[in-house]
């Protein structure tokens, strides 16, 4: 089979057809990735001849993906506090304490659900993220995250009571949306509580490097995408 059978013109027709069918730029770009990987595999195994799809040609095919404006802004402290307060009023305490834990230490949802009492260092005010039998943190990154007394209290409450409710992602999502609608907040996910924590820490002076370590990121570039604008008012920075 010749690589020219999968040439740039054919892929361009594919992109045009997917666009006319209503697929987003992000979806189309995601579809292109395995095609490129397949061609590279064929070249390495000498199953295909030289491909016209070099890196530059591949980049030219990828569509520009717009960044939605709401994603540039994090939940404010006031919004998070209002959300947590209402969660304790209308939800089972397990869900409310879970949301307070996520908002208070920036852990991933899966990490929070796997916490044990031994992971809480009350004296040092630390939440420890570490692998467990049959489960590991993302990319196997052990880390210690600073936490307030309120966050540690929420963590203990969650760990003590979590067997009382379902903790599958759909159940957690439904409970979060229930509170979000009550408070009148824009649509967000449990992961946005992690982003809000990172943004608030940076706003208070924590370095990107420190936040990156606490979040368990592999690079500062990922952390930079997490840290977003908390307050839009920039008048205090005006020179005149």
Interval 126-146 mean pLDDT: 91
For the residues of 69-93, what is the DSSP string, one character each? GGGGBPPPHHHHHHHHHHHHHHS-H
- Determine the length of the chain: 240
The full set of domains in the chain, from first to last, is: 3-66 (no CATH), 71-226 (1.10.443.10)
pLDDT tens digits for 151-171? 999 999 999 999 999 999 999
Least confident of 23-27, 63-67, 211-215: 63-67
How far is the C-alpha of 102 from the C-alpha of 117, rounded, in Å? 16
The model's pLDDT over 50-95, given as tens digits with 9 standing for 90+, comes to 666 666 777 778 888 776 554 567 899 999 999 999 999 999 999 9
Residue 155, C-beta contacts closer than 8 angstroms, at least 6 positions apart: 97, 101, 105, 112, 115, 120, 127, 147
Kindly state the tokens that stand for 1.
Answer: 């089979």
To the question of pTM greater than 0.85 for the whole model, the response is no
SS (H, E, C) 92-141: CHHHHHHHHHHHHHCCCHHHHHCCCHHHEECCCCEEEECCECCECCHHHC
Q: How far apart are CA 97 and CA 167, in angstroms?
A: 12
pLDDT of amino acid 229: 67
At residue 232, the pLDDT reads: 58
């Amino acid at each position: 089979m010749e690589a020219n059978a999968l040439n740039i013109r054919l892929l361009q027709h594919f992109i045009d057809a997917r666009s006319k069918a209503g697929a987003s730029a992000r979806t189309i770009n995601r579809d292109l990735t395995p095609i490129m990987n397949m061609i590279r595999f064929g070249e390495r195994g000498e199953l295909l001849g030289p491909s016209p799809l070099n890196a530059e040609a591949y980049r030219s095919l990828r569509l520009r993906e717009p960044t939605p404006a709401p994603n540039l802004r994090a939940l404010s402290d006031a919004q998070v506090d209002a959300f947590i307060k209402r969660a304790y009023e209308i939800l089972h305490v397990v869900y409310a304490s879970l949301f307070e834990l996520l908002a208070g230490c920036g852990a991933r949802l899966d990490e929070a659900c796997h916490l044990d009492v031994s992971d809480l260092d009350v004296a040092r005010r630390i939440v420890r993220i570490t692998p467990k039998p049959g489960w590991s943190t993302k990319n196997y990154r052990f880390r210690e995250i600073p936490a307030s007394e309120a966050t540690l209290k929420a963590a203990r409450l969650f760990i003590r009571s979590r067997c009382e409710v379902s903790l599958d992602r759909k159940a957690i999502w439904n409970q979060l949306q229930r509170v979000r609608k009550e408070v009148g907040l824009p649509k967000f996910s449990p992961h946005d509580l992690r982003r809000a924590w990172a943004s608030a820490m940076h706003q208070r002076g924590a370095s990107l490097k420190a936040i990156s370590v606490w979040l368990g990121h592999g690079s500062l570039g990922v952390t930079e995408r997490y840290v977003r604008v908390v307050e839009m008012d920039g008048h205090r920075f005006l020179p005149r």
